[in-house]
């Protein structure tokens, strides 16, 4: 009987530990994804500014 109780306790602790590890991993993954999205947003903004300057330059060169 005691062996079954100890086995059940170990299993419960193992499950709790597994859930904690998964939650921690998901939390860190979410942080990484957010950082990547912010970096990507900066890259897109920079590319849009470059395209805007190029288009302004083309418009300026065509109006003579």
Q: Three-state SS string across the chain, please? A: CHHHHHHHHHHHHHHHHHHHHHHHHHHHHHHHHHHHHHHHHHHHHHHHHHHHHHHHHHHHHHCC
Supply the pLDDT for residue 3. 67
Tokens at residue 23, please?
Answer: 């939650």
pLDDT digits (tens, 9 = 90+) for 9-24: 888 889 899 999 999 9
pLDDT digits (tens, 9 = 90+) for 24-64: 999 999 999 999 999 999 999 999 999 998 888 887 776 44
Give the span between the Cα atoms of 27 and 30, in whole angstroms. Answer: 5
């Amino acid at each position: 009987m005691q062996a079954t109780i100890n086995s059940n306790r170990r299993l419960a602790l193992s499950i709790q530990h597994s859930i904690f590890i998964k939650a921690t991993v998901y939390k860190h993954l979410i942080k990484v994804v957010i950082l990547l999205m912010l970096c990507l947003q900066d890259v897109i903004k920079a590319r849009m500014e470059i395209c805007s300057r190029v288009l302004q330059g083309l418009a300026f060169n065509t109006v003579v």
